Amino acid sequence: FLRAARGLGEAARGMGRAMASAAVRERKVAVLGAAGGIGQPLALLMKMNPAVTELALYDIANMPGVAADVSHVNTRAQVKAYSGDELGDCLSGADVVVIPAGVPRKPGMTRQDLFNVNAGIVKNLVEAIAKNCPTACINMISNPVNSTVPIAAEILKRNNVYDKRKLMGVTTLDVVRAKTFYAEKMGLNVGEVDVPVVGGHAGITILPLWSQATPSAEMSKDDVEALTKRTQDGGTEVVQAKAGKGSATLSMAYAGALFADACLRGLNGAPNVIECSYVESTACDGVPFFSTKVLLGANGAEEIHPIGDINEYEKEALDAMIPELNASIESGVKFAAENK
């Protein structure tokens, strides 16, 4: 699988680089919510990552079966299942913690509808991270990411272990979708395409920057609008197609594995590891959390890239998203303040 994937471009090239550094370090990855729709394929993909030596899988249900299944794959990572009150053991010594725990969207629900359930789950999990692996890189997948990342920041601050470089919202699926849709529409090789996606991770806060896409292609206004909308509504497209049976799981597991792999490569000293991520940022005036490209290194997201040059269409879209993004951030901060 890995050998086949390596031909497929940037994603697979990342895995290849991980292979080169695989022998260098022992790395423990914990996945919280590992028996879920995202968690299961994500656990499998992390088991296939040669940089992982220990794979700790936690869920409140069905964990032993999934872990036993994944553990039979003949790769290097040692798999262990944790449930119930074993969260602390699962997290102890982890370098990267990936969080896809929570409820997914059903048709008609927005990401904000998930807020009350998932905010509580994230709060408890991040409290355990603060106690058991306070220096780990946190990859937040649980939605609404625009709010769950600020919640996590508040919890970590309260426990005096907040390092903004270590807390990352996973927006990689937006980038994966933007690359796929752009390559398809413009007739480009998807393995060679790059599209930065900035802002947040819901609706109009997702802003693909086609003007910075490479290779550059002449796009009509209609194409720009259609591709922007399709990227923003990618999650809804899957929710509707699954008709009540959940949201994006397979493409999300792929995107989550890609981002976790990038974090591991950064931790292991690989140069120029750059991915988009939703982090505490000054890239957009007046918005405390924002996604742009970040440089991943030994200390997590070590450098945050600016938004860069954008055109009029993108400027308008950026202005339009700011109130919604700030409201989601504020609701996360408020939730943390009210739930001590």
- Using CB under 6 A, list all residues that contact ligand NAI: 32-33, 35-39, 58-61, 100-105, 114, 118, 121, 124-125, 141-143, 145, 170, 173, 201, 246-249, 252
For the CB of residue 314, give the shortest distance to ligand NAI in the complex, in Å: 21
Opening angle at CA 44, ends 39 and 49, nearest 5: 120
Question: Is 259 in contact with 97 (CB distance < 8 Å)?
Answer: no
CB of 205 to ligand NAI, least distance (A): 12
Tell me if residue 305 is catalytic: no
Residue 143 Cα to chain centre, angstroms: 10
Q: Is 37 assigned to a binding site?
A: yes
CB of 98 to ligand NAI, least distance (A): 11
CB atoms under 10 Å from CB of 74, counted, come to 5
User: How far is 298 from 240, CA to CA, in rounded Å?
Assistant: 40
Nearer to ligand NAI, 143 or 291 (CB): 143
Beta-bridge partner residues of 291:
199, 278
| SS3 state of residue 241 | helix
141 is in an annotated binding site: yes
> Token digits for 41?
């394929």
Catalytic residue selected from 28, 80, 123, 201: 201
**Residue with smaller CB distance to ligand NAI, 98 or 270:** 98
Give me the helix-helix angle, 250-267 and 10-21, nearest 10°: 40
Tell me whether residue 230 is annotated as binding: no
**Choice between 99 and 227, CB closer to ligand NAI:** 99
Measured CA to CA, the distance from residue 18 to residue 24 in angstroms comes to: 10
Backbone angles phi, psi at 314, to 5 degrees: -70, -35
CB nearer ligand NAI, residue 111 or residue 293: 111
CA atoms of 129 and 122, how far apart (whole Å)? 10
Q: Is 105 annotated as a binding residue?
A: yes
Report whether 34 belongs to an annotated binding site: yes
- For residue 311, the minimal CB distance to ligand NAI (Å) is 26
Position with the least CB separation from ligand NAI: 36
Question: From the annotation, which residues make up the binding site for substrate?
Answer: 105, 111, 143, 177
Active site residues: 201
Question: From the annotation, which residues make up the binding site for NAD(+)?
Answer: 33-39, 59, 118, 141-143, 252
